[in-house]
Structure 1
Amino acid sequence: MSAGTTRLLLLGAVSLFEPVNGYQIRRELLSWRVDEWASTRPGSIYHGLRRLAEDGLLRATAVDDDGRDVVVYEITPDGRTRLETLIVESIESVNVFDRRAFLAAFSLLPTLGEQRARAALTNRRTALIDALDELVAGRSDEYSPPHAKRTLDLWTRLACTEREWIDAVFDGWDDMRSTFDQAWAPPSDDPGPEMLVERDRYLRALRTR
């Protein structure tokens, strides 16, 4: 996975749950199955968090947690700016052969707010149409062997499916609004509340420093 996608996922997860420790981020991202679709190695998450803190995009603070020191992370103003830039870039930049960055960005779409999110998806749809034109032109190349044309046909069909999917996202936008106004609520058996309890404990610890 590219370094940009790694930073996007880590910054996004911290922004959602801050203050949060490394184990919580690892647990959360693995629940998104990023080890499968984003090729994220679980062990790289801790290193990535430390590097983001060194770069000033995260703030790392050691707090006492029931008698043991735990490093918790918060996103800095520079980190939030960088996160939003990465989300927009990853949505608007179309690579029909690799959608991992886009999937990571779409999972963090509410971070942008409704207007910016819709604008970024609109720009992606336009870029996707341009990419489709290039694929169609390549498929008609008379010098390409039959198996290469079949491969291009697959990429073309996948890009068409994505365009139809974006149209469906816009068609169902009213349902999406709940993710922007925070009206959506997880099921009662969702493990998220455990993280919220831990976050409150870390917030109290940070206030007493």
Structure 2
Amino acid sequence: MSAGTTRLLLLGAVSLFEPVNGYQIRRELLSWRVDEWASIRPGSIYHGLRALAGQELLTATTIDDDGRDVVVYEITPEGRSRMETMIVDAIESVNVFDRRAFLAAFSLLPTLAEEQARASLTNRRAALVDGLAELVAGQSNEYAPPHARRTLDLWTRLAWTELTWLDGVFAEWEGGDLRATFHHSWAPPADDPGTEMIAERERYLRALGRS
């Protein structure tokens, strides 16, 4: 997995839950199963957060949390700008052979303005149609061995599946369900770790003198 996608996931997770500590980010990202589809080693998350703080894309502040020192992270204006650019690029740049960057960006879709998110997905759909046309044209190569043609057929079917999936995303958008994530009308259930993070966020904000 590229370092850029790892940075994107870390910036995005911090932006969703800030102020947030490293353990919370690790737990949240592992619940997204990033260790499986994004090949992110759990132990590298802490190093990545410190590196982003060193690049001034995050701030790292040590606070007293019930008698123990805890480092909490927040995204900086530069970090947010970088994150949004990376999300748009990952959504609009279609690679029919590797969708991991897109999966990372789509996981962070609510961090964009709704209008930007929809525009970027619309651009992706158009680019995907072009990519599909190239795949279909490649299937007519009479010199390709049978197993290679079957491989290309798999890539083509996967691209068609994504196109159908995108149309479903737009349909859900029109129905209003997807808008909930942009207008803060969705909340995790009471037994979800995300609910605990919301309570911890309020405690961290008080420690930072911002509640």
Q: Calculate the TM-score normalised by the size of structure 2.
A: 0.95
1:4 CA displacement: 1.1
1 CA distance for matches of 2:179 and 2:79? 25
Q: Is the 8 A contact 2:64 2:70 kept in 1?
A: yes
Query: Counterpart amino acid of 1:161?
Result: T
Runs of 4+ in 1 over 6 A off after TM superposition: none
Query: Counterpart amino acid of 1:171?
Result: A
2 CA distance for matches of 1:186 and 1:22? 20
1 CA distance for matches of 2:187 and 2:58? 27
1:61 CA displacement: 0.8
Within 5 Å, give how 1:1-209 maps onto structure 2.
Answer: 1-173=1-173, 174-207=176-209
5+ long unaligned stretches in structure 2: none
5+ long unaligned stretches in structure 1: none
1 CA distance for matches of 2:161 and 2:47? 36
- What SS does structure 2 have at the residue aligned with 1:136? helix
- What SS does structure 2 have at the residue aligned with 1:149? helix
2 CA distance for matches of 1:144 and 1:11? 43
Query: Counterpart amino acid of 1:102?
Result: F
1:88 CA displacement: 0.5
Aligned length: 208
Query: Counterpart amino acid of 1:148?
Result: A
Query: Counterpart amino acid of 2:81?
Result: T
- What SS does structure 2 have at the residue aligned with 1:172? helix
Alpha-carbon deviations, 1:112-150, whole Å to 9, x = none?
Answer: 121101100000001101111111122211221110010
Q: Percent identity?
A: 78
1:188 CA displacement: 2.5
